Structure 1
């Protein structure tokens, strides 16, 4: 019951996305399972030493530091909630520090490669055909790279969110915060092609979401992951090929072309500028690389 009430709190009071709530649930079930199996105690009985044992268990099982840090953040929120509800008097997380995570620059795909994927072709062959599935895949990539929206935001988009007159799209972000993101002319045209093609499909039900499956049902995260991975594999050999990589690519592209950091923050829907500033490191590294290649004394 503790987990269920906490997840309801996250959904209705904190207004977290379904994806985030699922992550919290997974972390908590793993933690409670560890306590029961290895220590024979409940979450309410756990002390700081028990939580440290859980961290050691995760690290011993080759769980990355950033993933462990996320789980510790989940536990911090969980125990803060239990204190608020009066289930606990002492917070066992008070003495817990998450493991230090080495700073990693956001991975992104170069503009030239994305242009090749979306507008050109590979070895003289066009990548997308005129079928519904192919055009749906293309609009998924176009939207992720052309607007920088998150996966959950993409899946929540409706056709009515598009404003062709203003050239914008309304995005429902984290904690149900709305923002307006501009659309470039090519993306507008591609959206019209996709929506017109979608209308011609003989779907049994009329789904209001913009992105749908081949059968006309609302699209789901794994479908988008498969789409992105499949097409990025054509143009990139890097390991990471997730939807979030296209969000990084969007931000890095804008920054490299001189966009204001505050404007990028608004476009991405970041709550603070600190989250956006990570992209400046990529820009600096790019300038260093150009400098080393071009300057005679570098």
Structure 2
């Protein structure tokens, strides 16, 4: 496995390096984590190891719960966000649980490690009018300048909003994941979990218009990629983010969101239209319904309408 960090300093003191490398390798092979997730876990562990080294520890078997709590408290005192603290605590619990299961330490001091509860902050989202205006302007741009890139950009925006895919999922789409007869797309999500997502008629029309000219951009380096960049290879997530930011910049009053904002807008608008939470969970590919509940919200207007329709004393 390629180490997320190749420098000796980042890998920490010698007593920690072998266990660090073995754990990251097990995460990659057993849990199929992305390179981005592996780098995050490596960084979390490196920060802890540096803290333990300053405390004079020379092996993980010497670590106790107070050591781990002091590490979290030190970060909290420096103003670290609760969401980051929660992720780092989870990484450390996973690491020490693995050390214990594999016989590297006699007991697991991280079992009782707790982090501050994460707040339920709702991310900003597009309202339906802004989404329509964004897509309408992108389509108008194709009418004025009918190039492969313009068609690709419309298809990207339509698919992000229609399917609620993560940007990595969209960039990873291959042609054999498209079902043209039923207008479905097979999405490969986190942990290599596959889900099937329906594609609306406008999005499928835009996708087909792009595929009709894809060959004018694609080179052999693109392979079976649905979306390709201007150099002909599979499109990069950074390019997709620029496309979304540029499209929203042309909509007066719209928040400056990236592809994840369109995913959230899709889920929100489904709920506003009456979709049930379980269906939205499946479309988004969340393993837990609690994640969907945090990730989406229902407008006050819809709640009031439901109350007035259903409550006998409304």
Q: TM-score, normalised by structure 1?
A: 0.85
Partners of 2:97 and 2:111 within 8 A in 1: no
Equivalent residue for 2:213, pick from 171, 178, 197: 197
Matches within 5 A, 1:69-108: 69-108=86-125
Partners of 1:233 and 1:241 within 8 A in 2: no
Equivalent residue for 2:272, pick from 251, 256, 266: 256
**For each residue in 1:211-262, what CA deviation from the matched residue of structure 2 results, as whole angstroms up to 9, or x when unmatched?**
2222122233333333333333333767762322211111110010011222
Residues 1:114 and 2:125 are matched in the alignment: no
Aligned to 2:229: 213
**Cα RMSD between the aligned structures?**
2.7
Partners of 2:100 and 2:106 within 8 A in 1: yes
Q: Which has the higher contact order (CA 8 A, sep 6+)?
A: 1
Equivalent residue for 2:298, pick from 251, 275, 283: 283
Change (3 A) 1:202 1:136: closer
Equivalent residue for 1:67, pick from 81, 84, 97: 84
Offset of residue 160 of structure 1: 1.4
Change (3 A) 1:103 1:191: same
Aligned length: 286
Change (3 A) 1:142 1:34: farther
| Matched position secondary structure for 1:169 | strand
Measure, in 2, the Cα distance between the counterparts of 1:78 and 1:29.
12
Name structure 1 gaps, 5 residues minimum.
292-298
Measure, in 2, the Cα distance between the counterparts of 1:88 and 1:147.
45
Aligned to 1:151: 167
Partners of 2:185 and 2:197 within 8 A in 1: yes
Matches within 5 A, 1:36-75: 36=53, 38-41=54-57, 44=60, 45-75=62-92
Measure, in 2, the Cα distance between the counterparts of 1:185 and 1:49.
57
